[in-house]
Amino acid sequence: MKIAYYPGCSATGSSADYEKSTQAVCAALGMQMEEIRGWSCCGSTPAHAVDTQLSGALSARNLDLAARQKADMVLTPCPSCLSNLRHAAKRLENPEFRAGVNELLDEPLPEKLPEALSVMQGIARTYDMDAIASRVRKPLAGLKLAAYYGCLMSRPHEVMEFGDPENPTLMESLLTACGAEMVDFPLKTECCGASYGIPERAMTARLTGRILNLATMLGVDAVVVACPLCQMNLDLRQQQAAKEAGVAFSMPVLYYTQLMGIAFGLAPSALGLDKLCVSADNLLRKLDQPAVCSKAPEGDKA
């Protein structure tokens, strides 16, 4: 199985820590991914609202490049990129749409393009949970975590095909295999405000405040994400969220790859933990604490 890798534009900027930890975890697992040569922006969040066909062409070009590299699948860490790639592939099933896209490209698309999946799905397709657990060197035992997928990863179901659109569980499975305790988090697929963080700051603050407040009430050690925009809104904007919610927040927001990397025994510096706005130091210290012996006194034995 040949895997092409599409990092997306944020990989070298706002989500450099996601890129760093993704590469580190995949390397630790032995996953071989070849970056798409000459890849370009998929259109991000606004392109489809301006011109659906042009947006489709931007994503189709990257799938075409992957096909030329003989890739069987394309993995991307970003849900927005994943959504664009998968929507483009779906729309290309329409002959009229495909013809319009071909007019925008230098050469017509091949009939078959590689399937686009999230890195998370790629890991789960390549390794079962027992294989993931076998690579754990520093179990996440003692950590209580909330998985937050955001609104794009699993919707719409007929395009994304990422489990239950309202209750995906893949992140929980991966982190449970790494030893963590995962809480039931009812807001796991609610919107954080996405790219409205600048034009509609108050709205984004209310949405992120709601998510952070529930996580705080549940007593979790961290919120775990798989999306650069979600991570930015929940981590960077905690003071804005606190002002709207009337509650102070100090909640670490980590990528699932960063936590998997910790479990695999990788150094924090290899996972981009220094880029977090809310430090994960307390979480790391908690993992370093020796387990408390629960052996009953001699007199209490049955």
Q: What is the SS3 assignment for 32-101?
A: CEEECCCCCCCCCCCHHHHCHHHHHHHHHHHHHHHHHCCCCEEEECCHHHHHHHHHHHHHCCCHHHHHHH
The predicted pLDDT at position 291 comes to 59
Identify the three-state secondary structure at position 224: strand
pTM: 0.94
Q: Beta strands 33-35 and 115-118: pairing type?
A: unpaired
The predicted pLDDT at position 46 comes to 79
The predicted pLDDT at position 204 comes to 96
247 conformational bin, left if phi > 0, alpha if psi -120 to 50, beta if neither: beta
Say how far apart CA 227 and CA 130 lie, in whole Å: 25
DSSP bridge pairs for 4: 34, 74
Buried b (16+ CB within 10 A) or exposed e, 163-189: bebeebebbbbbbbbbbbebbebebbb
Q: Packing angle between helix 79-91 and helix 52-68, nearest 10 degrees?
A: 100
Say how far apart CA 259 and CA 263 lie, in whole Å: 6
Structure tokens at 155: 């919707």
185 conformational bin, left if phi > 0, alpha if psi -120 to 50, beta if neither: beta
The predicted pLDDT at position 289 comes to 87
Residue 57: closest CA among 102, 96, 93, 90: 102
The predicted pLDDT at position 195 comes to 87
Print pLDDT tens along the chain (302 aa): 899 999 999 998 999 999 999 999 999 999 999 999 999 999 987 787 789 999 999 999 999 999 999 999 999 999 999 999 999 999 999 999 999 999 999 999 999 999 999 999 999 999 999 999 999 999 999 999 999 999 999 999 999 999 999 999 999 999 999 999 999 999 999 999 998 888 899 999 999 999 999 999 999 999 999 999 999 999 999 999 999 999 999 999 999 999 999 999 999 999 999 999 999 999 999 999 875 444 444 444 33
Q: How many other β-carbons are positioned within 10 Å of the β-carbon of residue 37?
A: 10
| All domains of the chain in start order, with CATH | 3-120 (1.20.1050.140), 137-288 (3.40.50.11810)
**Strand order through the sheet with 253-255:** 181-182, 144-147, 222-225, 253-255
